Structure 1
Amino acid sequence: MRITIAAVGRLRAGPEAELVTDYLTRFDRSGRPLGLGPARVAEVDDRKGGGMAGEAPLLRSAMPQGAALWVLDERGRTVDSPDFADRIARLRDDGTRDLCLMIGGADGLDPSLRQEADFALSFGKMVWPHMLVRVMVAEQLYRAASILAGAPYHRA
């Protein structure tokens, strides 16, 4: 199952970009034998003055056709890492070919995208910078693959 992280804004070279690249590389290596991956980031430009409504069609166009859609939203459901891994495994086992994890811009996601989502995921009650959320998603994907493979990365 291929994974797309569709995100508003361009991640400049720096520590966040390095972490995303590192975790997605690890995910690709550990996920391939499990039928997971590759993972990629699809960046869309934030629309100055367009806000969430202007970003929504750009995010939709970055999503692979027929993909399951999970949105990252502070109003979403909080799950632990084993549950996150289990949800990914169920999608894969049900024959889902693509999963899109969508991250909005500074103002979040357009309500229409939240309504279209198959699942809304929250990393807690706190609001996180959207650039940092990319790192967190990439790390959780790697952690999920590690959990599913029985590797010692995740210490439960």
Structure 2
Amino acid sequence: MLLHIIARGRIGRGPEAELVERYMKRVTWAQKISELPDTGGRVPAAAAGSRTILLDEGGEQMSSLEFANLLENWRDGGVREARFCIGAADGFTPDERKGADKVIAFGRATWPHLMARAMLAEQLWRATSIIAGHPYHREGRQ
């Protein structure tokens, strides 16, 4: 399954870009990152068999295991592409939220879109490592 990050804003060079690169290099699944301007720009068309996930502070909070299970179920169910959308400062319109398959949040705090992208990259690495049985994730261990 293709993991496709669609993000508003250019990440450029900096610590957030380094984190995204570091974690996405570890992900063994097919992946793609599309950057759009803060306003305008064309969102890449969704292929048949894709799912769209919006990252939004008002979304569902999922544990890393729940996130991994979601991706694993979609992959095993024949989903070809999981599209992770990170909005600009004003977030998403009600129509965009309604059209998404899932809206998730990384906690109740508001995160800058560059940090959200780095956090998403880490969670994608964590989820795929959980699915692969890699020891990176240590939920419930002390």
TM superposition score category, shorter chain reference: over 0.9
Match of 2:33 among 41, 44, 50: 41
Aligned to 2:19: 19
CA displacement at 1:106 relative to structure 2: 1.1
Matches within 5 A, 1:60-99: 61-66=43-48, 67-99=50-82
Q: Aligned partner of 1:110: which letter?
A: T
**1:107 is paired with a residue of what secondary structure?**
coil
Match of 2:130 among 139, 147, 151: 147
Give % identity: 42
**2:27 is paired with a residue of what secondary structure?**
helix
Q: Distance in 2 between matches of 1:127 and 1:111?
A: 18
Q: Distance in 1 between matches of 2:94 and 2:86?
A: 13
- In the alignment, structure 1 segments of 5+ residues that lack a partner are 29-36, 48-53
Question: Is residue 24–residue 40 contact of structure 1 (8 Å, CA) maintained in 2?
Answer: no
**1:127 is paired with a residue of what secondary structure?**
coil
Q: Distance in 1 between matches of 2:128 and 2:47?
A: 24
Q: Distance in 2 between matches of 1:6 and 1:65?
A: 14
Matches within 5 A, 1:108-127: 108-127=91-110
Please, what TM-score do these two structures have when normalized by structure 2? 0.92
**1:72 is paired with a residue of what secondary structure?**
strand
Say what the alpha-carbon RMSD is for the aligned residues. 1.2
CA displacement at 1:62 relative to structure 2: 2.1
**1:10 is paired with a residue of what secondary structure?**
coil
Q: Distance in 1 between matches of 2:83 and 2:131?
A: 19
**1:62 is paired with a residue of what secondary structure?**
coil
CA displacement at 1:80 relative to structure 2: 0.3
Question: Is residue 6–residue 63 contact of structure 1 (8 Å, CA) maintained in 2?
Answer: no
Q: Which has the higher strand share?
A: 2
Q: Which has the higher helix share?
A: 1
CA displacement at 1:41 relative to structure 2: 1.1
Q: Distance in 2 between matches of 1:8 and 1:75?
A: 18
